[in-house]
Amino acid sequence: MIGIFDSGVGGLTVVKQVIQALPQYKIIYFGDTARIPYGSRSEAIIKKYSLQDTEFLLEKNAEIIVIACHTASAVAADYLREKFPQTKIFDVVQPGLDQALKVTRSKRIGIIGTEATVKSEVHERYLKKIDPQTKVFYQACPLLVPLVEEGWLKRQETRRIVRYYLKSLKKNKIDTLVLACTHYPLLAKIITEIAGKSVKVVDPAQEVAIQIKEYLQKNPTVVAKLTKNGQQHEFYASDVSDQFLNISHKILGKNISVKSAEVT
């Protein structure tokens, strides 16, 4: 199975892209909704939670791990790779940045994410390593994850908050904007409208699905281990709320059965 975890419901945007790219493979998803958000936590706690999430998926026989949470990707990806050297672990940071470098014209790239994601500065280090001329502009958006989790996807209050967050990035004349949180694609329409036609918005969820597909094409031994009953995906959450079920329907376009699971 392909194991995917996130701090909440937003990681289902990655699930959706992986299903579209690789419909034949079974996916197991865990959303740590009881402990969301990760973005305001300390580095030590983020690593601890990410380790527990990964162990849960591996115990469920996942052969590949996808860190759908940008905060966990930025803070804990290398830590998890050291802990599980025999497991292929994908994160959502690098694929989105590779795409941003492809589409930017001015080399002025904006990154929006949680406070922990922004504080890590992993995006700037990666981009400047490839192209030192790249200018990176960050904006932490701590209110967006709670708004998505509450289902406030079309509210005027949400629009005003997005406009406030993007103000400094627009002032800095970015031409590319990376959605460095898996919750943000649910607000992509509002974000794209406010960012303006001159700004290319990059959704890393699409790019990580492509990366996984390319990896499997080159690794038939891994493919042989994957379960291929793609219609029987498994979904778990540490707190199964009505809101989680409602938003999951909006993301995946259908009702899903979500089991409660506690990770320790």
User: Which residues carry out catalysis?
Assistant: 69, 181
Q: Dihedral of CA 77/79/81/84: which sign? A: negative
Tokens 């079974």 sit at which residue? Answer: 26
Residue given tokens 């280090």 in the structure block: 125
Alpha-carbon distances, residue 12 vs 59, 99, 130, 250, 253 (angstroms) = 20, 21, 30, 10, 11
Beta bridge partners of 64: 2, 88
List all residues 6 or more positions away from 106 whose beta carbon is below 8 Å from its beta carbon: 173, 174, 175
Characterize 92-125 residue by residue with b for buried, 16 or more Cβ atoms within 10 angstroms of its Cβ, and e for exposed.
Answer: bbbbbbbbbbeebeebbbbbbbbebbbbbebbbe
Measuring CA to CA, how many Å separate 185 from each of 9, 39, 75, 189? 12, 17, 21, 8
Provide the token pair at 257: 């059965």
